[in-house]
Structure 1
Amino acid sequence: MTHDSLRLYKYNVWANERVFQRLQEVPREVCEQEIQSVFPTITQALKHILLTDHVWLLAMKGDTYENVGKTVGRLSQELEGKGLDEIHAGFIDVSKKFKDFFSQIDLNATAPYSHPTMGTIHAPYSDIIQHVVNHGTYHRGNISAMLRQLGHAGASHDYIYFLFEESQKQNS
C-alpha cells in the first residue's frame, strides 16, 4: 500500500508538471482568458488545485479545520494577481512539503479528519493521498477541456503515460 501511495503521489506531481509544460507553450493570456466553464480561468483552476493541496497537507499534519481555513485564506490572498510562474513555484513548494511529510510518517497509519458539518472520520494517510491525486486529476481534466475550449490542445497527463515514462527511465 505504501509504495502505491507514493507512486500515485509521484504521478500527481508528474501530471501537474505536464500541465505547466503545456501552458508554457500557449500564449500567456490564454491562462487569464475568461470562459464559461467550471472555473472562470485556467489560472483560477490552478490556484484551486494548489490551495486544496495545502488544505490536505495541513489536515494530514493534524491541523484543525479552523487553522487550515485561516492558513489557506492567507495563501489565497498571497496568490491574488500571481501569474503562471509564481503558481508553478507554489506547486513545486507544496510537493516538496508533501514528500518531506511522507518521509516522516507511516502512510498506512490512520489519522482523524474533522469537519464542522460532516463530523470526524479516521482514514489512513494513503486514502487521503488517493483523494489528493483524484482531486488533481479531476481538475487537470477541467484545464484540458478549458484549453480545448480556447482553441488549444490539452496536456497528455493520463496515468498510463506516466507508467510508460517511468518504465523507460528504469530500462535506460
Structure 2
Amino acid sequence: MSSQVIQLYEYHVWANKTVFEHLRKLPEEVWNKEITSVFPSVCQLMSHIYAMDTMWLSVMRERPFNEARELLMRLLDESKMENLEGVEKRFIETENKYRDFLNTCDFEKTIPLAHPVYGSVSTPLSGLVQHVVNHGTYHRGNLTAMLHQLGYSGVPTDYVFYLYTV
C-alpha cells in the first residue's frame, strides 16, 4: 500500500512540474492576466493548489482545523501575487515536506477530521493523500480551460502520461 500511495503522490509532483514547465514557455503576462473563470488568474489558481496542499499536510499531521485554516489563509495571501518562480519554489518546498512525512507515516492510520460546517469524519492517511492528488488533478483541468480561454494550449498531465516517465 505505501508504495502505491507514494507513487500517487509522485504523480501529483510530476504533474505540477509539467505544468510549471509549460507555463514558463508562455508569455509572462499569462501568469497574472485577469480572466473570468474558476479563478481570476493562473497565479491565483496555482497559489490555491499550493496552499491547499500545504494545509492538507498540516491536517495529516493532526493539526486542529482552526490552525490549518489560518495557515491556508496566510499562504493564499502571501502567494496570490507572487511571480511564477516564487510559487514554483513554494511547491518544491511543500513537496519536500510531503516526502519527509510520507516516508515515515503509517498510511493506514486513521485520523479524525473535524469541520465546523461538514461535521466530523475519520479517514486513513492514504485517503487524504488521494484527496490531495484528486484536488490537484481537478484544478489542473481548470488551468487547461483557463489557458484555452487566453488563447493557449494546456499540457497533458493525465496519470497514464506519468506512467510513461517512470
Give the TM-score of the pair, scaled to structure 1: 0.93
In the TM superposition, what is the alpha-carbon distance from 1:80 to its structure 2 partner?
4.0
Q: Could you tell me how far apart the structure 1 residues matched to 2:102 and 2:149 are?
A: 37
Q: Given the alignment of the two structures, is residue 158 of structure 1 paired with residue 161 of structure 2, yes or no?
A: no
Question: How many equivalent pairs are there?
Answer: 166
Give the TM-score of the pair, scaled to structure 2: 0.96
Q: Could you tell me how far apart the structure 1 residues matched to 2:111 and 2:71 are?
A: 20
Q: Could you tell me how far apart the structure 2 residues matched to 1:76 and 1:41 are?
A: 13
Runs of 4+, deviation exceeding 2 Å: none
- Partner SS for 2:31: helix
Q: Could you tell me how far apart the structure 2 residues matched to 1:62 and 1:141 are?
A: 29
Instruction: Rate the CA distance shift 1:41–1:11 in 2: closer, same or farther, 3 A.
Output: same
In the TM superposition, what is the alpha-carbon distance from 1:148 to its structure 2 partner?
1.3
In the TM superposition, what is the alpha-carbon distance from 1:58 to its structure 2 partner?
0.5
- Partner SS for 1:98: helix
Q: Given the alignment of the two structures, is residue 7 of structure 1 paired with residue 7 of structure 2, yes or no?
A: yes
Residue in 1 that maps onto 2:109: 109
In the TM superposition, what is the alpha-carbon distance from 1:81 to its structure 2 partner?
2.5
Q: Could you tell me how far apart the structure 2 residues matched to 1:81 and 1:151 are?
A: 22
Which 10-residue stretch deviates more, 126-135 or 113-122?
113-122
Q: Any residues of structure 2 matched to 1:121-140 within 5 Å, and which?
A: 121-140=121-140
Runs of at least 5 residues in structure 2 that lack an aligned partner in the other structure: none
Q: Could you tell me how far apart the structure 2 residues matched to 1:6 and 1:98 are?
A: 10
Q: Any residues of structure 2 matched to 1:30-49 within 5 Å, and which?
A: 30-49=30-49
- Partner SS for 1:122: strand
Residue in 2 that maps onto 1:21: 21
**CA-to-partner distance for each residue in 1:123-153, whole Å, 9 max, x for gaps?**
1110000000000000001111111111111
- Partner SS for 2:111: strand
Amino acid at match of 2:100: D
Q: Could you tell me how far apart the structure 1 residues matched to 2:18 and 2:163 are?
A: 14
CA contact (8 A) 2:107 2:125 kept: yes
CA RMSD of the aligned region, Å? Answer: 1.0
